[in-house]
Structure 1
Amino acid sequence: MMRGLRAAWCPPRWPRPVGPWQGDTTLSENYAFAGMHHIFDQHVDSAVPRLQFANDDKHLLACCSLDGTLSIMTLSSSPPRVKVSLKGHGGPVTDFAWSLSNDIIVSTSLDGTLRIWNTEDGRCIREVRDPESSELLCCTFQPMNNNLTVVGNSKHHLQVVNISTGKKVKGGSSKLTGRVLSLSFDAPGRILWAGDDRGSIFSFLFDMATGKLTKAKRLVVSEGSSICSISARSWISREARDPSLLVNACVNKLLLYRVADNDGTLQLKRSFPIQQGSQLVHSIFCPLMSFRQGACVVTGSEDGCVYFFDVERNTKAIVNKLQGHGGPVLDVSFNCDESLLASADSTGMVIIWRREQK
């Protein structure tokens, strides 16, 4: 059964370098920032655990808050403003995801519900209750079928949900060793990785035809540590063409793994020092591929800073460090052309950073 789900990985077609990032600039020059573009404080005094720019969009950004609401912000207006607030959850909002076309957001909450939102008017289209009445901690869309969302809960369960019907998918459930904190698909949507609060990352094979999950591999990163962020990438740069996984695991390191096979087996490639012992800090791959040596990842940190690391460097890997937050930085997100970076912290502050134009 698992053999039928495997597919050979094909290298991508390389995109053209664009705009001010052409030429022989160093990574440090390339990721220089001119300062803060804007600060959003509508969630002040409640942590903002997640934020994310809309897909292929320069100016649309969303975030969720432990105050029970989500915000969609537009950065194209002067000044940038909150476009719409998503209100309806009865508890802290733990995670959310944009649909591919950006017309829908799904969100999870400690109130035990998955909500589907219209991003234009902020209407809640559907509410799906967890069958176990447990806290919902994370969610992600199936990249090839946005009718399907995977949800992780506090009772160690993963569940595939059809958001068009609100029903769970038969065979689309599995159990981890702890509370499910993080989820990420590979780009083709064939492998799903899930991390829990006991230090394990599981890989699952996803059947496109049925939505069924088949458990494949397990890696114990660090016993008892929280795997709070997983990001998958098919490639990083011309020099690093292997599929990779970027992981935050509350071990005071950012971890980069190589995906070794079509079952999602992971091999540690590199680690980078950050301050993260208990907070649920997230990280990302930079969205644009580099045509020069080296490639960047960005992470939050408990020291209130945003760090940029060159994943191809063994030593002195820090490319840049942004300071300005008053608490642990929990999440970061680049817009599609990397002209703006957003970061969110435990005090509820969201900072938009403007990249220096060359």
Structure 2
Amino acid sequence: MVTLIHTLADHSDDINYCAFSSSCLATCSLDKTIRVYSLNNFTELPYSPLKGHTYAVHCCCFSPSGHILASCSTDGTTMVWDTQDGRTLAVLEQPSGSPVRVCRFSPESTYLVSGAADGSVVLWNVQSLKLYRSGNVKDGSLVACAFSPNGNFFVTGSSCGDLTIWDDKMRCLYNEKAHDLGVTCCDISSQPVSDGEHGFTYFQMASCGQDNQIKLWLILFADFLGGELKYKCTLNGHSAPVLACAFSYDGQMLVSGSVDKCVIIYETSTGNTLHTLSQHTRYVTTCAFAPYSPLLATGSMDKTVNIWQFDLQQPCAGSTVESASKVAVEDWSEDDVSAWLCAQDLADFVGLFKMNNIDGKELLNLTKESLTDELKIESLGLRRKVLQKIEELRMKTISVPVTIPDEFLCPITRELMKDPVIAADGYSYEKEAIENWINSKRRSSPMTNLPLPSPMLTPNRTLKMAISRWLETQQKHV
């Protein structure tokens, strides 16, 4: 359940953006100001509103620590503020003088990006508050930006519809035509996912545009590969251009705001609509989840910012099945199993499992042989993924708090290794994962980025025995 708990109506013109830190909410507007509120009681801080821009403020964002706030404007500047007292720390002028439409801090506060209407994009060094590097998108205005979780890469979106991946040297690594009528916003989840095909770790990215669509992507960031973008699916629901999208902190939900005046909250694992909020009376221009509290902010051209709260007693999207007890899982219906498959990003198997009448009891009894011989799942990688998820479910349903030792996790998949091997770099990996790595013509170490002197893999029997003993110990504790 989502409840409207507060409405902020201090701005005198359209709300363009809102952003959370762990303790504050910042909002900016066409009225040239930025306002900052405490999350304790949503009262405005003493130094608010922040005034300094001479034209509309398009975007604002907090540094990861929350100690610095950045804002950008039609006046061609990005201003940096101290959130303790509201002091102006710097006025960063876009080299071209073009209106700045978006700004974003990197996760480690190393860089601040500013993107402008002429397509220019600038990386500022946060420590020195000096220009570090600059570049340009091919066409259109730069209107959206999101950093990779490690901060070494970022994605920009343009009014011509392109998504572009850059590294921190401002090299353009990848370009994708994403929305025919122009990108309006993009966001990257901080939670990694496996693509289920090659065993690599990807992150989910969402983009939205003037075409009324929200698209989900799988994005891979790697120093040795550059960037890779894979289309996942399109989320429908809005009847007009979608102006904003944002992931929740845990990556389980995605929120969007549209010209149709609606806010839609989706479950990212299934794409299902969880909530539709329609309290705004004009275009919804911005939406943001708070990082450490169950809050959502939405801003609109109706000059208000609505604050919503999620019911903590209600399980978050996708968590209902995973937190069930063993008895509950054994009593699952076929529909419950279907919901679990969707929550595990295994929706392609729903039809197969239903055709074979797999309920909760049958699910817990599935083995490698039954997946192969009875369900006819031919792909070794997919069988392993299904078995891994079932094993995780078994352990969770018997309420065993498990912290897997890091040395038992494959560095590529970050999952418990079943068949560990030692590569020429001296590190151990899941055999299938490192074989796929090498077969994909990657001749560098996943751990060091140095060339692999040999493709030879040696079974790590000692590690395999240690993992087996650890698993046996966990079972004894049940």
Q: Residues 184-241 of structure 1, C-alpha deviation per residue, up to 9 Å, x if partnerless? A: 11000122111110011111122xxxxx211111101134x22121111243679986
SS of corresponding position for 1:76: coil
Please list, as runs of the form range in 1=range in 2, the aligned pairs for 1:74-85 lying within 5 A after superposition: 74-77=38-41, 80-83=42-45, 84-85=48-49
State the alpha-carbon separation in 2 of the partners of residues 95 and 75 from structure 1. 20
Residue 114 (structure 2) aligns with: 151
How far the C-alpha of 1:248 sits from its partner, in A, is 0.9
Residue 92 (structure 1) aligns with: 56
SS of corresponding position for 2:258: coil
Q: Are 1:269 and 2:229 counterparts?
A: no
Match of 1:121 among 72, 85, 97: 85
State the alpha-carbon separation in 2 of the partners of residues 215 and 239 from structure 1. 24
Residue 173 (structure 1) aligns with: 135
State the alpha-carbon separation in 2 of the partners of residues 172 and 330 from structure 1. 28
Residue 246 (structure 2) aligns with: 284
Pair 133,352 (structure 1): closer, same or farther in 2 beyond 3 Å: same
Pair 156,238 (structure 1): closer, same or farther in 2 beyond 3 Å: closer
Please list, as runs of the form range in 1=range in 2, the aligned pairs for 1:254-265 lying within 5 A after superposition: 254-260=214-220, 262=222, 263-265=226-228
Structure 1 residues not aligned, in runs of 5+: 1-31, 207-211, 290-294
Aligned-CA RMSD value:
2.1
State the alpha-carbon separation in 2 of the partners of residues 134 and 246 from structure 1. 27
The normalised TM-score by structure 2 is 0.60
Sequence identity, in percent?
22
Residue 330 (structure 1) aligns with: 285
Pair 276,205 (structure 1): closer, same or farther in 2 beyond 3 Å: farther
Q: CA contact under 8 A between 1:181 and 1:226: conserved in structure 2?
A: no
Aligned residue type for 2:131: K
State the alpha-carbon separation in 1 of the partners of residues 228 and 195 from structure 2. 21
Q: CA contact under 8 A between 2:148 and 2:221: conserved in structure 1?
A: no
The normalised TM-score by structure 1 is 0.79
More helix by share: 2
SS of corresponding position for 1:320: strand
Match of 1:102 among 66, 69, 74: 66
Aligned residue type for 1:167: K
Residue 8 (structure 1) aligns with: none
Aligned residue-pair number: 304
State the alpha-carbon separation in 1 of the partners of residues 233 and 110 from structure 2. 35
Q: Residues 151-193 of structure 1, C-alpha deviation per residue, up to 9 Å, x if partnerless? A: 1111111111234444321x44343311100111100012211
State the alpha-carbon separation in 1 of the partners of residues 231 and 195 from structure 2. 17
Please list, as runs of the form range in 1=range in 2, the aligned pairs for 1:198-209 lying within 5 A after superposition: 198-206=160-168
State the alpha-carbon separation in 1 of the partners of residues 274 and 118 from structure 2. 39
Pair 342,273 (structure 1): closer, same or farther in 2 beyond 3 Å: same
Structure 2 residues not aligned, in runs of 5+: 314-478
Residue 30 (structure 2) aligns with: 66
Pair 306,236 (structure 1): closer, same or farther in 2 beyond 3 Å: farther
Residue 232 (structure 1) aligns with: 188
Residue 37 (structure 1) aligns with: 5
Aligned residue type for 1:115: M
Residue 309 (structure 2) aligns with: 354
How far the C-alpha of 1:266 sits from its partner, in A, is 1.5
Q: CA contact under 8 A between 2:28 and 2:35: conserved in structure 1?
A: yes
- Greater relative CO (CA pairs within 8 A, separation 6+): 1
More strand by share: 1
Residue 404 (structure 2) aligns with: none
Aligned residue type for 2:18: L
